[in-house]
């Protein structure tokens, strides 16, 4: 099956660089676990052996933004925390993606209040929104797979002119 | 004589003219006192040899919005020795809303008073460090006041710029 069968037959495959780079990229999405409140518990559950995010190449939660390319914002973002989230996002090298995990990050959720940002898309470019309060691990895994589909469609040259770090303070 | 009666007797002895109300509701004792006497009452409660209210466990406030004395400052103090929680209240008016700080008696009141200042705008005179504690520096409003909208005032809290 799959690649192994090809290897037995011919010993080589032909493809495009774009395809193979996108394939490599989507198969090792390293998340930044931006666990701010209760969604973080489901984020942990998604990474544990039962749900096993590792099946999709995303098991390496990096606690430094410099080694990540996917930010999973898991939890209520207050106006005070928004500055921190954005600062961490700015430190992630290009190309990078964002999952808004749960109701709070997507829309403010049940916190319809003066201190909570009503949707992190007010200051971050969100790629995938995840419904739920908190979302089940399957839901988060689905979000990661959606990101993978998005990455698979990218071309390597989409990112070549972008500097590695853009908005960061010099 | 029970402990409650002892508290009432000792407080009445020293502050008879300044007490506005002494009330018991479902086993909780509340003393309402004129705001000028709050520190003296605190001293009595803490330093009396029988009462021993060593700890201030909470300071908060109530905004009555339309009442003449707009705010009530509420203190909860606790005596370990007698295992008793007492509530002290003081009514204050709105121009400007201020009351003497009890940090000189209970050090733990420091952050509670900062919180009450942050949320209600009540100024605690002689507080050692009266800054906001929750809301960011430079925020101009007091969110738990009744005239503050639930969703806040647009633009009053800074957000990072939008990027695509």
Q: Do A112 and B143 touch (CB under 8 A)?
A: no
Number of separate domains in chain A:
1
CATH number of A46's domain = 3.40.50.12280
Kindly list the strands in the beta sheet with B28-33, ordered across the sheet, starting from the edge strand earlier in the chain: B19-25, B28-33, B84-92, B71-79, B55-63
Q: How far apart are the C-alpha atoms of B63 and B79, rounded to whole Å?
A: 28
Q: Is the pTM of this model over 0.90?
A: no
Is the preceding peptide bond at B7 cis, omega within 30 degrees of 0? no
Reported CATH class of domain B3-125: alpha beta
Q: Do A114 and B164 touch (CB under 8 A)?
A: no
| DSSP β-ladder status, A70-74 and A97-101 | parallel
The answer to whether residue A12 is domain-embedded is no
The angle at the Cα of B132, spanning B127 to B136, to the nearest 5 degrees, equals 165
pLDDT tens per residue across span B28-63 = 999 999 989 899 999 999 998 888 999 999 999 999
The answer to whether residue A9 is domain-embedded is no
Q: Do A123 and B135 touch (CB under 8 A)?
A: no
Q: How far apart are the C-alpha atoms of A20 and B15, rounded to whole Å?
A: 84
For an interface test with B, give the residue of A77, A79, A92, A123 to mutate (most B CBs within 10 A): A79
The answer to whether residue A152 is domain-embedded is yes
The answer to whether residue A130 is domain-embedded is yes
Nearest by CB to residue B159, choosing from A79, A114, A167, is A79
pLDDT reading at A119 higher than 60:
yes
pLDDT tens per residue across span B143-161 = 999 999 998 888 888 888 8
Domain that holds residue A145: 29-157
The reply to whether B154 touches chain A by the CB within 8 Å rule is no
Quote the DSSP letter at residue A135: P
User: What is the ipTM score, two decimals?
Assistant: 0.77
């Amino acid at each position: 099956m799959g690649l192994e069968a090809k290897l037995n037959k011919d010993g080589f495959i032909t493809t495009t660089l774009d395809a193979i780079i996108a394939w490599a990229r989507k198969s090792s999405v390293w998340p930044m676990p931006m666990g701010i409140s209760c969604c973080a518990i489901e984020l942990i559950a998604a990474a544990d052996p039962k749900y096993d995010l590792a099946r999709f190449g995303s098991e390496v939660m990096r606690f430094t933004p410099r080694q990540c390319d996917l930010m999973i914002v898991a939890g209520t973002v207050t106006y005070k925390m928004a500055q921190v989230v954005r600062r961490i996002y700015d430190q992630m090298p290009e190309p990078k993606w964002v999952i808004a995990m749960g109701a709070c990050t997507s829309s403010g959720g049940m916190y319809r209040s003066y201190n909570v940002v009503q949707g992190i898309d007010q200051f971050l470019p969100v790629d995938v929104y995840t419904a739920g309060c908190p979302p089940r691990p399957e839901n988060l895994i689905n979000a990661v797979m959606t990101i993978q589909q998005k990455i698979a469609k990218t071309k390597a040259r989409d990112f070549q002119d972008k500097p590695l770090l853009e908005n960061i303070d010099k | 004589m029970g402990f409650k009666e002892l508290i009432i007797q000792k407080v009445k002895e020293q502050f008879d003219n300044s007490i506005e109300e002494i009330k018991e509701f479902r086993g909780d004792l509340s003393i309402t006192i004129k705001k000028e006497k709050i520190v003296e009452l605190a001293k009595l409660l803490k330093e009396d040899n029988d009462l021993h209210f060593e700890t201030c466990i909470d300071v908060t406030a109530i905004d009555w919005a339309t009442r003449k004395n707009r705010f009530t400052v509420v203190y909860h103090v606790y005596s370990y020795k007698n295992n008793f929680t007492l509530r002290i209240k003081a009514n204050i008016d709105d121009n400007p809303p201020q009351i003497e700080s009890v940090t000189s008696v209970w050090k733990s009141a420091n952050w509670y008073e900062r919180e009450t200042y942050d949320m209600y705008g009540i100024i605690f005179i002689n507080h050692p460090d009266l800054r906001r504690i929750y809301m960011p520096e430079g925020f101009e409003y007091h969110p738990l006041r009744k005239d503050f909208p639930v969703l806040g005032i647009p633009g009053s809290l800074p957000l990072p710029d939008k990027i695509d």
